[in-house]
Amino acid sequence: MLPPDVVNRVWIEGVRPEIDGGRWPVKAILGDRFAVQADLVADGHDAVAGVVLYRFGQGGSWSETPLDLLVNDRFEASFDLTELGLWEYTLEAWVDDFATWRARLQKRIQAKQEVALELLVGADLVEQAAERAWRKHEGDHALLERFALDLRDPDTTTAKQAALGIGLSDLMAAYPDRSRGTRYDHVLQVRAERTKARFSAWYELFPRSTGSNGKHGSFADVEAVLPYVASMGFDVLYLPPIHPIGRSYRKGRNNALEAQPEDPGSPWAIGSSQGGHKAIHPELGTPTDFRHLVSAAREHDLEVAMDIAFQASPDHPYVKEHPEWFKQRPDGTIQYAENPPKKYQDIYPFDFGSRDWWPLWQELYSILIYWIEQGIRIFRVDNPHTKSLPFWAWCLSEIYKQHPDTVFLAEAFTRPKLMAALAKAGFSQSYTYFTWRNTRWEIQQYLEELTTTQLASYFRPNFWPNTPDILPEHLQHGGRPAFIARFVLAATLASNYGIYGPAFELMEHVARPGSEEYLDNEKYEIRSWNLREPKSLRSIITRINQTRKSQPALQDNRNLRFHPTDNNQLLCFSKHSDDCESRVLIVVNLDYRYKQSGWVELDPKLLGVEEDSAYEVHDVLTGARYPWRGGRNYVELDPQRVPAHLFIVQQPATSA
């Protein structure tokens, strides 16, 4: 048996954040101060020290920042993410002989023990550090040599002063003995993404429904709607698929199996004789028109997001040119999409594991590159959980290498671990179960899972109160209070959220009987919307989006906290910025029929408020201001007026 080369006494454990031993990158945002924690455990009572090593990209020289002790052998260090893209980090730790010696010396001095010999031990340690400094910094080398002489001074008073001074301690920390240091087993990664990956407000719009008098809309018609969308404070305009739509097995109104000649079909049945995933539906316009729309949107501080649905209609050119990319049934036909008992005869799924899988993967990758070249940097991906995980891990990694400013939203209403796997594979954001979380306990439990567990380091939720596929029961029957309450929850619980409009702000609520799907679903027909409808929620949506932009507390999920109430129909939570300059408190009445009241129990410190001091809460939904004091305060919410408070916390309290 051979002995180890070096005796590494420090174990590095419990590193956070870390995903599956470094297999997947952690997610962060450009400009973040990225914090790393770990347990540094060594035998005995010797002091330990360590650093976080970090670098941009893969390979190259490391920079480092020292780890600071928190409590109970837990250490932390942080560094700034100054460039967009992939960073690497790891840790190194060692026994700090000088810090150990210095602590023992202090104890001996306090006990009035003889320390002359101990000072000579320290002098030896300082001289060794001086040798390490010699090639790096001539001035530090000289200073350390001088300190070593002071420690050897027969006058122990002078030697003690030198030993316990801050100057020597700082110098020694700069030149530690790391010859027996422990390097962490894994090189970990963090991807710095742009701000919209963490903070965004999405508005989904069917371009074909923007025409006048029921005619098929065009990109020019969408441009005319841009001021409306921008005025409400949204920053992402998401368009369902804009490609040619197949004729074979085209679905009719309300998902009817037989379409009438005038039925436009589902935009997700992609491909016809007019082209496939790199083509545009002729009635929408040309590639030039599309690029003009993308540019016009930017002038309104909007960014166009495209839908990517990797599937094909039976008429897609791929079906004829590459039948090997699809699953063949025993009778020679191609397998259409199914989610029994639902059948989607107008859609053929790709076979990601076919014998010709690599050319298929490359072609799908090229689709993303094509639209990136047209100016798109945000993609909403349809049903990614029904496609290959290895494909996404490869494809998204390659995209990020060339275009680190891209953002991908996973439309994955599926099993929790599969949703998490997609986030690990590279998706920036994900749809969630928010739509079906209704009670106080359900909402709190789900949000704490998303924001306080390891999920928070890589899974970014995007909350949608409705989608073209989903009209939840509470919106069907809860009336205006339900729409407002669910919007407040979506826009304040999560820093990323979206709505399917204009159906949402116009409170479209009639479902196909026995389902959570819209009657006269826009997926299968062209709709006309009256954007000037007096009952529209446009004004309250605008007010909340303005608050999101003005309050940094609402631009992140890290500082979300729930607060007890004595009424289960009242949900209370708060968010604050790291510097506590921005503090918001939200109370929502979850009963959409009746007035509810009760007492909320706050921890004033979480809101940056002194324990028993007076402060003011300003409700941006109504304009009302209330003087509050301490942690226990009364609220009353009538859903027929406004079912929620969105308070900005201000201190000290001022007169209303």
Catalytic residue positions, numbered = 382, 411
DSSP collapsed to 3 states, 515-553: CCCECCCCCCCCCCCCCCCCCCCHHHHHHHHHHHHHCHH
- The rounded distance, in Å, linking the Cα atoms of 500 and 466 is 6
Cβ–Cβ under 8 Å, residues 199 and 549: no
- Spatial neighbors of 442 by CB under 8 A, at least 6 apart, are none
For residues 223 and 291, the answer to whether their CB atoms sit within 8 Å is no
**Containing H/E element for 226?**
helix 219-231
- Using CA atoms, how far apart are residues 444 and 6, in angstroms rounded to an integer? 49
Query: 3-state DSSP call for residue 80?
Result: strand
Region of 203 please: left (phi>0), alpha (psi -120 to 50) or beta.
Answer: beta
> For residue 523, which amino acid is it?
K
Q: Report the interhelical angle of 357-373 vs 389-402 (nearest 10°).
A: 40
Which one-letter amino acid corresponds to residue 282?
P
- Close Cβ partners of 131 (under 8 Å, ≥ 6 residues apart): none
CB 615 within 8 A of CB 651: yes
Q: How far apart are CA 467 and CA 516, in angstroms?
A: 10
> Percentage helix, strand, coil, to 5, in the chain?
35, 25, 40
Helix extents (H) in 241-346: 287-299, 317-321
Identify which of 45, 40, 43 has the alpha carbon closest to the alpha carbon of residue 68: 40
The DSSP-derived string for 449-469 is: HHHHSGGGGT--BEE-S-BTT
Q: 609-612, long-range: CB within 8 Å, 24+ apart, which pairs?
A: 609/649, 609/651
The one-letter code for the residue type at 625 is R
